[in-house]
Amino acid sequence: MFNPLEHRGIPLERQIRNWRELSVEPIDPELVDPYTRCRIIALNGIEVEAVNCTHQLIRFCDSDEVRRQLAYVSYVESQQQRVVNWLLPGINSPLEVTLGYEQTAVDLTAWVARNEPDPYLKQAYEFGVLEDFDHLYRYANLYEMVERRKAEKVVDQLTEVMPGRPTTMHHRHPYDEVRDHYDRDTTDVRSKLHALTILAAEQQVMNYYMNVGPHYMEPIARQLYQEISLIEQEHVTHYETLLDPRETWWERQVLHEYNECYLYYSFMQQESDPRIKAIWELHLQMELAHLQQACEHLRRFDGREPEQIVGTDGLPEAVRFEPNKAYLRELIATQVDLTKLGNGYVREAHERFREFQERIHGGEKPPNERVIDEHRAEFGREYRIETEGPHPVRELREPAEVRRG
Amino acid sequence: MVEQSQRTTEAREPDAIDLLLEQHARIEDLFRAVLRTTGNAKREAFEDLVRLLSMHETAEEEVIHPIARRRLDFGDAVIDRRLDEERDAKGMLAGLVDLADRGDGKGMDASFDAELGRLRLAVLTHARKEERCEFGRLRHTAGEERLRTLAGAVRAAAALAPTRPHPSLTSPAANIVFGPALAVADRVRDALREVRRDNV
Ligand SMILES: [Fe+2]
Ligand SMILES: [Fe+2]
Ligand SMILES: [Fe+2]
Ligand SMILES: [Fe+2]
């Protein structure tokens, strides 16, 4: 398999791009493969995480020479982020981008869950994916109400749109969001890469919702973004606590760069649009040089070799965007009523969960339920895409369907 | 009555802006349909598109832009730009109709698709600008009642430009001439001015 440690990539000093090179042609929102949009969204999250992590590290680093090196790579990563995110077209509304974000979260997390070797980590992804799956359904109903369009325009029929674990139940005491972390010395390298990837994606979702939400004028839109952005806050805690806190800054840098190589390499394999594929390839070549510098820092400050962190086998099986319908239906059927207690998962509505629910909902229907009520009132139905038959959980079928059935 | 008990809000009748947004969605769908089909299906989709676009832009010009001009801050500047865009789009559309009417529908070749792609981008961009700079702000300044009243005018306009709910699989569409579909604009304008005179 491709081993990023064995390649030097484009020399760092040749990685700064000018305005013309930064000014990329956006994708066509109507004709694009929805999974191309997902790859853009996922890689944007990865670059944002890379930039922000390096900004943090610079604040904790007291060698001027190294601060300069970090500042330089961070600038280059920032240009990568601008290129990737600027592939999104201005004629898309924030809500359409939001549908893309949730589709990304659903199908990326589902792929990771299916491929995660560690059962505890796998459970974390299986738990989380059912929540973003439900967000997609809530936003799709909002989209039809506010913009009079159908989410199928954005997600096509690749991802189903129907209830997952109901969003109301996602609000838990933050204590219960904290997971056990993997062990940096014994865990499979795939687990480290999966955790970083999903963490980066969820963090970007949180940042996006909490910043874009107030731009809407419709009260229900503002409220729904506020609600779901707070769940994404919890998702970030959920995933970031999977990472081993004993990993050093230099080790994390190596993992970040290695993971960027992994994702650009993966998406390059799968990309259907040749123009976009060329960008993934270029960025992979840039990341290889970032990785080299991170490895030097690891040797110098930690006295360790990168192979001790990421092994010698090269990249794992490529990450793919693909439909996960059967898998998701299976998870819905078996895990929809789970909540969290301590570092684990339970079915009962325990005391801390109940108290938190009472506190946050204040005895009223939260925005995620009102958006469905209002949609039903206006259209006489909900917005769903159920391509594989009726909803697997009877209580989560549309009311009319329940009556008929 | 499961549904009844779950309703917490009163059913909301669509207002003029809702209807115009639905037309935007339909326009987007038809552009995609024309680009992705061939033969009869393509001709039918294009005829629907010409009719819908002509009707839609005229309805906006007659019904919603005049109010926006009066009610919005910088209304003149916002609406003048929209009208410029609509004029450009109409010019492109007329050019496309000419192209398509040439040679009994055989004018719908690759150069037609390229030109259609340009029109599509212009129209989609224009529609989003309306949504962001005009419709959203109008909801807050024009008042619900007024917008609901205007829905009647938008419906009247739409009635003059029926589109096919689904592409027909049987009717031979080879003889479609697209010029008449453009003329929908005039009929819509006349009808809407009639309505306005009656209401004065
Ligand atoms: Fe990067
Ligand atoms: Fe999430
Ligand atoms: Fe990097
Ligand atoms: Fe319009």
The nearest CA of chain B is from the CA of A374 a distance in Å of: 6
Give the closest residue to A87 by CA, choosing from A287, A269, A280: A280
Q: Report d(CA A247, CA A159) in Å as an integer.
A: 36
A window 366-395, beta carbon within 8 A of B: 370, 373-374, 376-378
Q: Do B21 and A148 touch (CB under 8 A)?
A: yes
- Test the B interface: residue of A148, A152, A378, A398 with most B CBs within 10 Å: A148
Q: Do B32 and A400 touch (CB under 8 A)?
A: no
Distance A294 CA to ligand 3 centre (A): 9
**Per-residue pLDDT, B109:** 84
Distance A91 CA to ligand 4 centre (A): 13
What kind of fold does domain A94-247+346-389 have according to CATH? Ferritin (1.20.1260)
Q: Report d(CA A269, CA A261) in Å as an integer.
A: 12
Distance A394 CA to ligand 1 centre (A): 45
**Per-residue pLDDT, B6:** 40
Distance B134 CA to ligand 4 centre (A): 10
Domain ranges of chain B: 15-198
Scanning every residue of chain A, which has its alpha carbon at the shortest distance from the alpha carbon of B125? A91
DSSP letter, residue A136: H
Look at residue A346 and give its three-state secondary structure.
strand
**Per-residue pLDDT, B47:** 93
Cβ(A239)–Cβ(A199) below 8 Å: yes
**Per-residue pLDDT, A400:** 75
Q: Which residues contact B181 (CB under 8 A, 6 or more apart)?
A: B47, B50, B51, B54, B97
DSSP string, A77-92: HHHHHHHHHTTS-TTS
**Per-residue pLDDT, B161:** 84
Amino acid letter, A255: L
CA distances from A171 to A345, A358, B112 (A): 14, 10, 53
What would the two tokens of residue A119 be?
């059962």
Q: From chain A, pick out residues whose CB is under 8 angstroms from the CB of B140.
A: 217
Partner-chain residue, chosen from A149, A153, A377, that has the shortest CB–CB distance to B9: A377
Q: Which residue has the higher pLDDT, B104 or B81?
A: B81
Distance B25 CA to ligand 2 centre (A): 28
Q: Do B24 and A148 touch (CB under 8 A)?
A: yes
Q: Report d(CA A230, CA A238) in Å as an integer.
A: 13
Domain ranges of chain A: 1-88+248-308, 94-247+346-389
Scanning every residue of chain A, which has its alpha carbon at the shortest distance from the alpha carbon of B9? A374
pLDDT in tens, A242-289: 999 999 999 999 999 999 999 999 999 999 999 999 999 999 999 999
Partner-chain residue, chosen from A148, A217, A403, that has the shortest CB–CB distance to B22: A148
What would the two tokens of residue A364 be?
């009223």
Distance A111 CA to ligand 4 centre (A): 40
Partner-chain residue, chosen from A93, A147, A400, that has the shortest CB–CB distance to B3: A400
**Per-residue pLDDT, A96:** 97
Q: Report d(CA B35, CA A96) in Å as an integer.
A: 22
Partner-chain residue, chosen from B11, B28, B32, that has the shortest CB–CB distance to A377: B11
Distance of CA A362 to the CA centre of its chain: 30
Question: Helix B184-199 and helix B39-59: axis angle, to 10°?
Answer: 30
Interface confidence (ipTM) of the complex: 0.88
Look at residue A17 and give its three-state secondary structure.
coil
What Rg value do the Cα atoms of chain A yield, rounded? 21
**Backbone CA torsion sign across A185, A190, A191, A193:** positive
Helix (H) or strand (E) holding B77: helix B75-101
Q: What is chain B's length? A: 200
Cβ(A30)–Cβ(B124) below 8 Å: yes
Partner-chain residue, chosen from A30, A90, A148, that has the shortest CB–CB distance to B32: A30
User: What beta strand segments (E) does A121-269 contain?
Assistant: none
Partner-chain residue, chosen from B3, B12, B32, that has the shortest CB–CB distance to A378: B12
**pLDDT grade for B5, boundaries at 50, 70 and 90:** very low
- Test the B interface: residue of A91, A222, A382 with most B CBs within 10 Å: A91
**Per-residue pLDDT, A30:** 86
Cβ(B116)–Cβ(B96) below 8 Å: yes
Q: Which residue has the higher pLDDT, A195 or B1?
A: A195
Helix (H) or strand (E) holding B64: none
**pLDDT grade for B105, boundaries at 50, 70 and 90:** low
Look at residue A1 and give its three-state secondary structure.
coil
Q: Report d(CA B155, CA B164) in Å as an integer.
A: 16
What kind of fold does domain B15-198 have according to CATH? Four Helix Bundle (Hemerythrin (Met), subunit A) (1.20.120)
Q: Do A31 and B35 touch (CB under 8 A)?
A: yes
pLDDT tens, N- to C-terminus, chain A (405 residues): 899 999 999 999 999 999 999 999 999 988 899 999 999 999 999 999 999 999 999 999 999 999 999 999 999 999 999 999 999 999 999 999 999 999 999 999 999 999 999 999 999 999 999 999 999 999 999 999 999 999 999 999 999 999 999 999 999 999 999 999 999 999 999 999 999 999 999 999 999 999 999 999 899 999 999 999 999 999 999 999 999 999 999 999 999 999 999 999 999 999 999 999 999 999 999 999 999 999 999 999 999 999 999 999 999 999 999 999 999 999 999 999 999 999 999 999 999 999 999 999 999 999 999 999 999 999 999 999 999 999 999 999 998 754 443
**Phi–psi pair at B50, nearest 5 degrees:** -60, -45
The nearest CA of chain A is from the CA of B134 a distance in Å of: 13
Q: From chain A, pick out residues whose CB is under 8 angstroms from the CB of B28.
A: 30, 149, 153
- Distance between first and last Cα of chain B: 45
Q: Report d(CA A193, CA A182) in Å as an integer.
A: 12
Give the closest residue to A249 by CA, choosing from A47, A61, A4: A61
Using the Cβ of B148 and the Cβ atoms of chain A, whether some distance falls under 8 Å is answered with no
CA distances from B113 to A40, B21, B32, B99, B154 (A): 27, 25, 11, 11, 30
